[in-house]
Structure 1
Amino acid sequence: MSENSSSESRGEQIQAAEREAAKQRILAQAEAERIPVEETTRAVPDRPWRRRER
């Protein structure tokens, strides 16, 4: 019975390592695709058609 529990523990360890590796890949991809805040907060001039509506 102890052999069975150690194999389950080993399987859980492998799954935990795979989850951690997947998490690291997702974080690395997100960081690579991240847009710096300076680029997202730049002021964009009003469009001419928006000025006419006022």
Structure 2
Amino acid sequence: MGDDTSVRASGEQLQAAEREAAKQRILAQAEADRIPVEETARAVPERRWRRGQD
């Protein structure tokens, strides 16, 4: 039974490592896709200005 417990613990550690790696990939992708606040803040007044011209 001791071997079964060590195999289970090893499997859980592997799953935890895979989850952490997946989390890091998701965070890296989110950071790559992020739009800086400066760019979003500039876009809003331009749209409002155009509406006022119609």
Bigger Cα displacement from structure 2, 35-44 vs 22-31: 35-44
Where structure 2 has 5 or more consecutive residues not aligned to the other structure, the ranges are none
Across the two proteins, how many residue pairs are aligned to each other?
49
Q: C-alpha separation between the residues in 2 aligned to 1:40 and 1:26?
A: 22
Q: Give the structure-1-normalised TM-score.
A: 0.82
Q: Give the structure-2-normalised TM-score.
A: 0.82
Q: Which letter maps to 2:7?
A: S
What's the secondary structure of 2:35's corresponding residue? coil
Percent of pairs with identical residues: 65
What's the secondary structure of 1:35's corresponding residue? coil
Q: C-alpha separation between the residues in 2 aligned to 1:5 and 1:40?
A: 53
Where structure 1 has 5 or more consecutive residues not aligned to the other structure, the ranges are 50-54
CA apart distance, 1:46: 3.6
Relative to its length, the structure with more helix (as a share) is 2
